[in-house]
A and B are shown apart, each in its own frame.
Chain A
């Protein structure tokens, strides 16, 4: 037995070693715009999305799920576009509205409101912050978020936003302030978020990942094992950042000279060296060249160098458009054309590539207008279908149904507040104001526990014990669950003396829907069994808030 184990061990060690080394890739990788060559850049309509997707579903003999009910739809679209749970009155009003265009009207209303900007600025803040390596950058986040909010309020085109981030020259504070953040230099967060010797490499890697959906970071150290990118290409991209640097900004604080901010600035000279693998202290100077092979004069100054990078990325670049489409589509449908959501590239597995190409072209044609894209997806039949779980974890539903996903921290907090009412702010004379306030107290802790990187594949986002403990046992939350006074339950139990009605309104409040007959029965018999109305309903409310559905977009 032992002998055979060892020989197996020997043989499989060999196999394991072979497995461990990245196979040498022979293909040369390069970005082209082939994917949308000849594809119309005219505005995409919802009807067109449905035609294209349904065509493919029919060919694959996949039957799509049925249309969402009004209750299901309003909760889904409100959470998707504004991160908010509808109130019972909203749900009832919407369900009773006889206007055949009510869904389109609702979508328009949501896109036009303030909450849209709040929701998406929080989303993108988390996308960028997830990979920051500069710990001081945490203090810069509120300014970044404020800038993002501005952009979304104005519906600023995505290409302009990205250009601003790549070419920024601003400064951001490294100490958290107690006043409202200044949005002015917020875009500088993107470059200031990385520090140290590896900052130039991190900037290149995140530029490729977030703006182009290309994960090129493996090629920092060796030719990419599977995607064909060569080391040289990575470091040529990094060279675009060779002349941008940051310097500390000093101020007198309490009579001591201290660093209060980091300032982006340009160096007149600077070059990036690709380290020799055998002797990392030596390297080869790299000249800036984009992933499509176009080189730039290395003597170009920093401002023009980064402007050139911004041009290469945002002007007539299929991957720029496709990456954004893939991401927003994925956020709405729960699954995207390429998965993970930020891992695309020539030759990668893509579901319905022709549909992606058409949408990317349309996005470019619209001037990179994100509201237009969201509007057209939300108005499609495809988006309005009921959820369906996959049969296995990896199964792609081919957009025949929406895939249920976990709510982001902000939305979950908003939902909790919508149900239970506002929580008292952490008190005291030093109480921070505005945006900073959300970092402290219960709200701050809650969001810290529930926050995750939005680029994580939904299947890989895990719940945690501290999250469960928070909702199960947090005294402040439990206090608001109690059936007393002006608390939610206090009011519901007195306004709805019949258990059936009280159960109904509780479901409407927490899940934005009526309970099913079975759920109502189960709840009714529970109330009877407990014998104490207040207690039983507290238990029921506790269960609803702790359940999966409360945390899930469906």
Chain B
């Protein structure tokens, strides 16, 4: 869905440059914004930006849609009323235990960091999901870009045939796209990791496709006289699309290129294969990949359902970490695992847990994150953060730090919007 809106503020009489042209010049990536009177600053920023893009770091967001229970994942409380029947298991780091059903990730403990003190105020799915994707609450006035899109704008390589931002799995309704940052940073949706992305396969052979494009350019010449800008923009989009489908890099979307054994290890389910696709995207220097796993909204039958989900998530997540590490990719990839909130300490009469943003868990790994630790703690009964609360902006600031991005950098839409509003880096993690 074309969610973006490039908002425009004409400033006119005050003598300030129109923000629209400001944005356009920024978007074109040209250095030296003499018109806005911020000449030297832009130059310095652009030099740094080029370095960032060359480094080619990536971010993988494993989004657990529905709100995973922290008691059944990374903050078990065995033997307590609130803990329920869930047992805890040891991990590769002595003294750290996680919930049963996560044996593979337990082995990877040295490379991951668990945060048990996530805290937030949003308890409704749509708002919490939106906030978890943008760092902001929804507003009618501003189409906030998602955190992923903002990261892509900072790190995406200038000439790049693949999309900067890939989302694996059916798109969760109304999750923010690129907002006012524009189509270039909009998530490219891969509905089913087991198949090539929709409409990405040529229906004619390559020669004929090229021939068609040649004819199109030829025949558009006349209309270009009447509607030059429309034709130029259109041809640019088509060039991007053609580059994508004819690029050898598009094979990165083809999981059939992977050995069966590895595919089995990731798990033959949508999430597992999605994680494998994410690794392949990282290899190709795609900047931001989101893989979602839905079903964590366990108001009923929490224990059985989280067991099934955990099995999938465990295999996929653990194999991803191991695979990235083995290929030397973990240093340049930061991985975030969390949902929009956690679940209640109290077990309800349907053997379920309800929404609970006050205290929940997240996992981060890679990109220089100090693994093998637990940051923050929940109270003994799990009802509150006991120490070291971490908010969503805190988490985003931390990810920015690992990616070497300034979270306070502003993108100009209808007004300047920071990449992250508020929050502070969780120093223990970096």
Contacts and interface: CB of A to CB of B under 8 A. Distances in A.
Interface of A: 4-9, 11-13, 15-16, 19-20, 23, 130-136, 138, 194, 196, 198, 202, 205-206, 217-218, 220, 226, 339-340, 343, 348-349, 386-390, 393-394, 404, 406, 445, 448-453, 456-457, 459-470, 472-475, 478, 516, 518-519, 522-523, 526, 530, 535, 539-540, 542-544, 546-549, 551-552, 554
Closest 8 CB pairs of A and B: A8-B40, A468-B241, A463-B237, A135-B126, A469-B199, A202-B140, A548-B234, A131-B140
Given A12-B38, A19-B38, A205-B140, A535 B208 contact: yes
Contacts of B141: 131, 202, 205, 217-218, 220
A358 B416 CA distance: 38
Nearest to A457: B8
B84 interface: no
Contacts of B223: 547-549, 552
B2 A452 contact: yes
A388 B230 CA distance: 12
Interface in B172-222: 173-174, 182-183, 186, 188-189, 198-203, 208, 211-212, 215-216, 218-220, 222
Most buried by A among B208, B216, B242: B216
Contacts of B126: 134-136
Interface in B1-59: 1-2, 4-6, 8-12, 14, 16, 20-21, 36-44
A135 B125 CA distance: 10
A465 B188 contact: yes
A534 to B, nearest CB: 12
B40 A404 contact: no
A19 B2 contact: no
Given A15-B38, A133-B140, A519-B219, A456 B5 contact: yes
Contacts of A349: 10, 12
Contacts of B227: 387, 389, 404, 548-549, 552, 554
Most buried by A among B16, B41, B219, B416: B219
A473 B203 contact: yes
Given A196-B137, A522-B215, 6 more contacts: A389-B226, A404-B227, A450-B2, A463-B233, A544-B219, A549-B223
A448 to B, nearest CB: 5
A469 B8 contact: no
A554 B224 CA distance: 12
B424 interface: no
A7 B37 CA distance: 14
Contacts of B137: 196, 198
B417 interface: no
B322 interface: no
Given A469-B198, A470-B199, A546-B216, A388 B226 contact: yes
B203 A475 contact: yes
A516 B222 contact: yes
Interface in B305-355: none
Contact of A19 (B12, B16, B188): B16
A12 B37 contact: yes
A239 to B, nearest CB: 18
A361 to B, nearest CB: 26
A502 to B, nearest CB: 15
Interface string B232-268: 0111011011101100000000000000000000000
B184 to A, nearest CB: 8
A533 B401 CA distance: 60
Nearest to A542: B212
Contact of A464 (B40, B127, B186): B186
Contact of B8 (A340, A406, A518): A340
Contact of B2 (A393, A394, A451, A457): A451
A554 B1 CA distance: 25
Contacts of B219: 519, 522-523, 543-544, 547
A136 B4 CA distance: 20
B135 to A, nearest CB: 16
Contacts of B199: 466, 469-470, 472-474
A266 B91 CA distance: 56
Contacts of A549: 220, 223, 227
Interface string B389-430: 000000000000000000000100011100000000000000
A389 B174 CA distance: 35
B228 interface: yes
B222 to A, nearest CB: 6
A307 to B, nearest CB: 24
21 contacts: A8-B43, A9-B41, A12-B39, A12-B40, A16-B41, A131-B140, A133-B139, A133-B140, A134-B126, A339-B10, A450-B2, A465-B163, A465-B188, A465-B237, A468-B241, A469-B244, A470-B199, A478-B203, A530-B211, A552-B223, A552-B227
Contacts of A460: 5-6, 8, 20
A12 B41 contact: yes
A216 to B, nearest CB: 10
A15 to B, nearest CB: 5
B186 A539 contact: no
Nearest to A474: B199
A20 B9 CA distance: 13
A539 B238 contact: no
Nearest to B23: A460
B376 interface: no
Most buried by B among A12, A198, A220, A465: A465
Contacts of B215: 522, 526, 539-540, 543
A472 B139 CA distance: 35
B140 A15 contact: no
Nearest to A526: B215
Contacts of A4: 40
Most buried by B among A348, A449, A468, A535: A468
A468 B237 contact: yes
A20 B182 CA distance: 22
A194 B14 contact: no
A364 to B, nearest CB: 27
Contacts of B228: 389
A277 to B, nearest CB: 16
Given A217-B141, A456-B5, A547-B220, A464 B183 contact: yes
B244 A465 contact: yes
Contacts of B4: 462
B364 to A, nearest CB: 28
Most buried by B among A7, A130, A544, A548: A548
A470 B198 CA distance: 8
A404 B233 contact: no
A481 to B, nearest CB: 9
